[in-house]
């Protein structure tokens, strides 16, 4: 997508791309107030690699990623240089703010109307002494992000679901030391596009309860042992102006248990197999002052019965016809012999194949139809692996023709579709809008007619 294409006003309520909803971003508040439509809420889109100013740059980590379009200029950062939402760039201290505290871990959550292969999320914060009465510019922010979450898989064309962000995506972000009003800039960078998505969150850094006399934040929280029935945690002792009375442990954001000091270990014996949990810990002193949250730790319990087979990897298509799809995947291993693989189509088990085989042809399918597959491994003790990453594949059109063009579909360079004729894709893109259908003037950079 070119920079020219990205700088347009949202013209409908069609949701596009993604936004930060917790803590609510500036754009989210404007949407709730009726001053932005839903499309504009989600389309704070401009070139990636902020704080650079130039386009045509390669990713320093993944050179195979699509080069960038120019990031938004100074004074247009909050709007991402979009025409709709220009009010987001207005300077001042009038914006709705969230109370936060230095050193605490803030959960930042994104939601998406359209997911993309992701390279990273960067989080920038305004400098100490920045001026809210001036427009947001590069010299108002720290030069480097204080927190980054990066997807290291590359090249991006070898992966699909593995590089797609979970919906929603939540990052536990530890906040630097600040006082008073500051702006958090959240940027979601896409690997297979020139673009990124920009959201700003207005925050008011307040003193801890008790005027700064809270305990220090506990450190070193780790999961020492994880099975299908138990998660064992340990952490370092916290200190503070007053003696530590106990530690509060949360599971998935809810208060779960209090452990009396000086104990620094605890085991959760109420977990279920093959399930993800997030734990965090707070220190409480004998005056009931509570510390900021520790850095959370995320664990995934083992499948039932203990150490099951490893998850099948790299599920991919080896080709499709009008009535069939051929699949292949990477083999699993385990502490017990693998006996077979279970194949699921649209979450329903359709076939098992011997462990000596790592491919399968699904036949008798309808033409021009989309199917989603996963694979699990099973060992001699009946223990199942977790499901592979999902793979969505379409059969060919009736008569062996090309599939019809569809909205919200990822098209690769060189791929053919039918739409009042046969068209070849000129550049990789996702069909977010009917304006990008083959044959329209607005899509001439995306499609060319011919077989």
Residues, the chain: 451
- Tell me what pLDDT residue 7 has: 36
Please give the full DSSP string across 324-341, using - where no structure is assigned.
Answer: -EEEEEEPP--SS-EEEE
Segments of the chain with pLDDT less than 50: 1-15, 210
- Name the DSSP class of 384: B
In 3D, which of 142, 117, 114, 118 has the Cα closest to residue 51? 142
The matching CATH number, chosen from 3.40.50.360, 2.70.50.50, 3.10.20.30, 3.40.50.720, for 3-205 is 2.70.50.50
Separation of alpha carbons 435 and 367, rounded Å: 26
- Residues with Cβ within 8 Å of 90's Cβ and at least 6 positions away in sequence, in order, are none
Say if CB 448 and CB 440 are below 8 A apart.
no
Say if CB 175 and CB 106 are below 8 A apart.
yes
Say if CB 189 and CB 122 are below 8 A apart.
yes
- Tell me what pLDDT residue 176 has: 84
- Tell me what pLDDT residue 408 has: 73
Q: Name the token pair of 397.
A: 């059109």
The matching CATH number, chosen from 3.30.160.270, 1.10.10.10, 2.60.40.10, 3.40.50.460, for 313-399 is 2.60.40.10
Span(s) in the chain for CATH 2.70.50.50: 3-205
Q: Name the token pair of 290.
A: 């509570």
Q: Name the token pair of 14.
A: 């069609």
Alpha helices in 216-268 (DSSP H): none
Separation of alpha carbons 234 and 264, rounded Å: 6
Residue 213, Cβ density class (10 Å: 0-12 exposed, 13-18 middle, ≥19 buried) = middle
Looking at the DSSP bridge assignments, the partners of residue 129 are: none
- Tell me what pLDDT residue 399 has: 64
> What are the backbone dihedrals phi and psi of residue 238, each rounded to the nearest 5 degrees, phi first?
-95, 160
Question: Can you give 397-426 as a three-state secondary structure string?
Answer: CHHHCCCECCCCCEECCCCEEECCCEEEEC
Q: Name the token pair of 32.
A: 């709730």
Q: Is 434 strand, coil or helix?
A: helix
- Name the DSSP class of 195: E
- Tell me what pLDDT residue 15 has: 42
Query: What count of Cα atoms within 13 Å lies in the side-chain half-sphere of residue 105?
Result: 19
What is the value of pTM for the model shown?
0.51
Residue 77, Cβ density class (10 Å: 0-12 exposed, 13-18 middle, ≥19 buried) = buried
CA distances from 356 to 219, 267, 316, 351, 377 (A): 47, 39, 18, 15, 12
Span(s) in the chain for CATH 2.60.40.10: 222-300, 313-399
- Residues with Cβ within 8 Å of 24's Cβ and at least 6 positions away in sequence, in order, are 32, 96, 98, 201
- Tell me what pLDDT residue 209 has: 54
In 3D, which of 130, 150, 157, 154 has the Cα closest to residue 142? 130
222-300: what fold? Immunoglobulin-like (2.60.40)
- Residues with Cβ within 8 Å of 275's Cβ and at least 6 positions away in sequence, in order, are 300, 301
- Tell me what pLDDT residue 85 has: 92
402-449: what fold? Seminal Fluid Protein  PDC-109 (Domain B) (2.10.10)
In 3D, which of 183, 66, 76 has the Cα closest to residue 117? 66
pLDDT in tens, 296-332: 887 878 877 777 788 899 899 888 888 999 999 999 9
CA distances from 362 to 105, 207, 289 (A): 47, 61, 61
Span(s) in the chain for CATH 2.10.10.20: 402-449
- How many whole angstroms from its chain centre is CA 253? 19
- Residues with Cβ within 8 Å of 166's Cβ and at least 6 positions away in sequence, in order, are none
From the CB of residue 382, how many other CB atoms can be counted at a distance below 10 Å? 11
Query: What count of Cα atoms within 13 Å lies in the side-chain half-sphere of residue 167?
Result: 12
End-to-end CA distance of the chain: 24
């Amino acid at each position: 997508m070119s920079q020219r294409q990205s700088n347009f006003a949202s013209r409908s309520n069609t949701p596009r791309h993604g936004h930060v909803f917790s803590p609510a971003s500036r754009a989210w508040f404007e949407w709730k107030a009726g001053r932005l439509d839903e499309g504009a809420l989600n389309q704070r889109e401009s070139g990636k690699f902020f704080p650079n100013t130039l386009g045509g740059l390669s990713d320093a980590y993944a050179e195979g990623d699509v080069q960038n379009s120019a990031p938004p200029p100074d004074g247009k950062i909050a709007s991402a240089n979009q025409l709709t939402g220009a009010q987001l760039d207005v300077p001042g201290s009038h914006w709705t703010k969230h109370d936060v505290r230095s050193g605490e871990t803030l959960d930042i959550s994104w939601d998406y109307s359209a997911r993309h292969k992701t390279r990273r999320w960067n989080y920038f914060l305004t400098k100490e002494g920045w001026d809210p009465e001036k427009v947001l510019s590069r010299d108002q922010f720290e030069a480097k992000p204080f927190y980054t979450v990066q997807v290291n898989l590359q090249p991006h064309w070898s992966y699909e679901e593995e590089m797609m962000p979970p919906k929603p995506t939540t990052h536990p972000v530890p906040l630097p030391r600040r006082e008073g009003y500051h702006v958090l800039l959240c940027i979601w960078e896409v690997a297979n596009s020139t673009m990124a998505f920009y959201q700003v969150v207005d925050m008011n850094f307040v003193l801890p309860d008790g005027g700064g006399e809270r305990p220090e934040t506990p450190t070193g929280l780790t999961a020492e042992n994880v099975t299908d029935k138990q998660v064992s945690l340990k952490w370092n002792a916290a200190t503070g102006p007053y003696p530590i009375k106990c530690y509060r442990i949360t599971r998935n954001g809810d208060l779960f248990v209090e452990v009396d000091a000086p104990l620094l270990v605890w085991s959760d014996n109420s977990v279920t197999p093959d399930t993800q949990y997030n734990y965090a810990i707070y220190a409480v002193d004998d005056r009931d002052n509570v510390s900021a949250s520790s850095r959370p730790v995320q664990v995934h319990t083992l499948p039932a019965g203990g150490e099951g087979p490893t998850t099948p990897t790299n599920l991919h298509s080896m080709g499709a016809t009008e009535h069939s799809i051929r699949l292949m995947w990477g083999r699993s291993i385990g502490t017990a012999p693998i006996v077979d693989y279970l194949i699921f189509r649209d979450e329903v088990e359709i076939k098992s194949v011997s462990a000596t085989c790592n491919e399968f042809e699904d036949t008798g399918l309808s033409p021009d139809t989309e199917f989603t597959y996963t694979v699990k491994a099973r060992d001699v003790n009946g223990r199942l692996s977790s499901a592979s990453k999902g793979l969505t594949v379409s059969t060919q059109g009736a008569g062996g023709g090309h599939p019809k063009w569809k909205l919200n579909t990822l098209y690769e360079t060189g791929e053919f579709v039918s739409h009042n004729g046969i068209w070849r894709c000129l550049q990789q893109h996702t069909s977010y809008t009917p304006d990008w259908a083959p044959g329209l003037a607005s899509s001439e950079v995306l499609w060319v007619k011919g077989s």
